[in-house]
Amino acid sequence: MENGIATQGEGRDPSGFLSEIIGSSVTVKLNSGVVYKGELQSVDGYMNIALEKTEEHVNGVKKRSYGDAFVRGNNVMYISAD
Amino acid sequence: MTSQLLPLELIDKCVGSKIWVVMKGEKGMLHLLQSHQVGTLTQTLWIEFSGTLMGFDDYVNMVLEDVTEFDYSGNHTKLSKILLNGNNICMLIPGGEGPVAAAS
C-alpha cells in the first residue's frame, strides 16, 4: 500500500511506530483484557512481543511480575507507548 | 459514471483525522470479568477506540494517537499512541468521536 511506504520511519504506520518504541516502556493489552506493562525488547510482523521487567495486570490489579516474557501475537489487542 | 471509492481508499482518506474503531464482541471476556454472573453470558460486549489515525497497513493494523479506549464496563482510558491489531476490528467510523459523542 502506498500509504505505508510514503510515511515509513516517522512512526506513523505500524512498522515505523514499532521501530520507534523498541526499548521504551509499553503497555500491551490482550483480547482477554489482561494487561502487560514492561520494556519492549522486540516485536515482529505477527505482533509477537518480547518484554522485559514485565508486570501482569488483571482488572487493573497487579497480579505477577516476570523478568522476561514472550507474548504470542495472536492474543495482542494493542501495544501502547507509555 | 464516477469511479467508486474502495473501502481501504476510504480509510486512507482518514489518515490524519479522527476515527472511531469498534472491535468485535468478545463473549469470553465477560466470563473472565464477571464469572460470578454466568447468567449474563449471552450478552455480547465490545471495546471501542477513538483517536487520530496516523497510519495503517494491509491488515488494517492501525497506529492511533490521542486515543480514548471505551471499556465494556463504561471506563474511559486515555492512551497517547497505540498500535491496534487489525485482527479484531469490526467497524471503522471516519470522523467518529466515539460512543459518548454519538449518543448525545
What pLDDT digit, counting tens, does each position of B26-52 carry? 654 444 444 445 444 445 567 999 999
For cell 487493573, name the residue: A60
A32: exposed, middle or buried (Cβ count in 10 Å: 0-12, 13-18, 19+): middle
Cell of B25: 464482541
Instruction: Delineate the domains of chain B, giving CATH numbers in brackets.
Output: 7-25+46-98 (2.30.30.100)
Q: Where are the domains of chain A?
A: 18-81
What pLDDT digit, counting tens, does each position of A32-64 carry? 899 999 999 999 989 999 999 999 999 889 999
A80: exposed, middle or buried (Cβ count in 10 Å: 0-12, 13-18, 19+): buried
Which chain B residue is nearest to residue A59, measuring alpha carbons?
Answer: B33
Under CATH, what is the fold of the domain A18-81? SH3 type barrels. (2.30.30)
From A33, A44, A41, select the one nearest A78 (Cα to Cα).
A33
Residue B26 DSSP code: -
Q: Tell me, rounded to whole angstroms, the distance of Cα B25 from its chain centroid.
A: 11
Contact B61, B84 (CB under 8 A): yes
Of B58, B83, B88, the CB nearest to A1: B58
Of B26, B33, B54, the CB nearest to A31: B26
> pTM score, two decimals?
0.82
